[in-house]
Amino acid sequence: MADNSIHTDLFSPTTLGKIELDNRIVMAPLTRGRTNEEGVPNELNVTYYVQRASAGLIISEATNISAQGRGYALTPGIWTEEQVAGWKKITEAIHVAGGKIVMQLWHVGRCSHVDLQPNREAPVAPSAIKADGKVFTNNGFEAVSMPRALRTDEISGIVEQYKHAAECAKRAGFDGVEIHSANSYLLEQFLRDSTNHRTDQYGGSIENRARLILEVVEAVTHVWGDGRVGIRLSPVTTEVGNTPLDSNVMATYSYLIQQLNKFKLAYLHFVEGTTGKSREVPESVDLDALRSLFDGAYIGNNNYNLDIAISRREEGKVDAVAFGRPFISNPDLVERLRCGIELVNAPNETHYGNGEKGYIDWPKANYFHVESSCSKP
């Protein structure tokens, strides 16, 4: 088997902002549904993350910034002391194993169900527009609930939720945070004119629709400083909720990205295409042109394989590559890619819930049967 490291620098150290990585392979955020109802990580989660610590950087599963931000059962949070303590066990174990991890900060907005909300209140959104699709509740998958539009005087409270979560993540020992402004969740709901019909200072023009994202980024970078905050964007995905694209993707995201440059972020993390489905983009959209507007490091994401990763890296179009689903069943994904070892595919039924099964029981490859240059487990 060939050692791919001689053809690419994907397996060499790099830096994203102030975060030093052993390689350019990033573990994308993966919701797995393995915490308790209080959103507190447990020893099972510790084992899972440590098994994957050879990734250059782990981006944690999407983590609720508040009880209001929750849209799926059994997902972790980062707003209580118990949650901080649970995550601290994970970050400490990853650091002992030589890995790095940032936390993805998440508010689902309209993509929720009343059973998941405090006092069974309606989910919040920029506008009272119902999403399509279903979310995972304690009663199984149920259709999303009708949201209510946030009042203008409530929006500062959303920013405060992100700030508080960022402070909690810092105390939990993370190497940084990633602001989840993708996949049609709350921040992207504000950005797109398809989901934002407001008439106040948070709606209408591109500048107004981008306002909340920029306020959140400012608040979070105030907590973490330069080079420790990343952001995830998904300009052309319709997932989740079958969300229509913005009417002018290039203008809207060009403005946002250029405004983000003033915050000296660690990286821009792009979903290239439709999340988890296709890398195709509309003819009117040039994702590489958008990427080129960003001054910092760039992480490419969405249906990458090693060939695409090597090609995009050789062309200078990515600084690092995020792999998602392959990390579920290949905890040693970096080594498998480097050594050309066949990957294992995880069936869909192992993705969410089920405890240990399909979560921490995936074996590492047998490195005794590969070249000596790839024998490091």
CATH number of domain containing 165: 3.20.20.70
**% of the chain residues with pLDDT over 90:** 88
What is the rounded average pLDDT of the residues 89-117?
98
> Is 60 exceeded by the pLDDT of residue 203?
yes
**% of the chain residues with pLDDT over 70:** 95
Residue 4 pLDDT: 41
Instruction: Quote the Cα angle for 15-322-231, to 5°.
Output: 70
> How many CA atoms lie less than 13 Å away from 22 in the CB half-sphere?
15
Radius of gyration of the chain (CA): 20
Q: Is 370 inside a domain boundary?
A: no
Report the domain count for the chain: 1
> Is 50 exceeded by the pLDDT of residue 200?
yes
Higher per-residue confidence, 370 vs 111? 111
Q: Is 284 inside a domain boundary?
A: yes
Q: Is 7 inside a domain boundary?
A: no
> Is 80 exceeded by the pLDDT of residue 268?
yes
Residue 183 pLDDT: 96
Q: Is 189 inside a domain boundary?
A: yes
Q: Is 84 inside a domain boundary?
A: yes
Residue 140 pLDDT: 87
Q: Is 0.85 topped by the overall pTM?
A: yes
Which structural domain, as residue segments, surrounds residue 123?
14-350
Q: Is 363 inside a domain boundary?
A: no
Question: Helix H segments across the chain?
Answer: 43-51, 81-96, 155-171, 186-191, 206-209, 211-224, 249-260, 287-291, 306-314, 325-329, 333-339
Higher per-residue confidence, 197 vs 371? 197
- pLDDT-derived band at 239 (thresholds 50, 70, 90) equals confident
Q: Is 9 inside a domain boundary?
A: no
> Is 70 exceeded by the pLDDT of residue 335?
yes
What is the rounded average pLDDT of the residues 158-171?
98
> Is 50 exceeded by the pLDDT of residue 283?
yes
What is the rounded average pLDDT of the residues 281-293?
95
Q: Is 364 inside a domain boundary?
A: no
Active site residue ranges: 185
Place of tokens 């992480």: 299
Residue 367 pLDDT: 67
> Is 50 exceeded by the pLDDT of residue 328?
yes
What is the rounded average pLDDT of the residues 323-336?
97
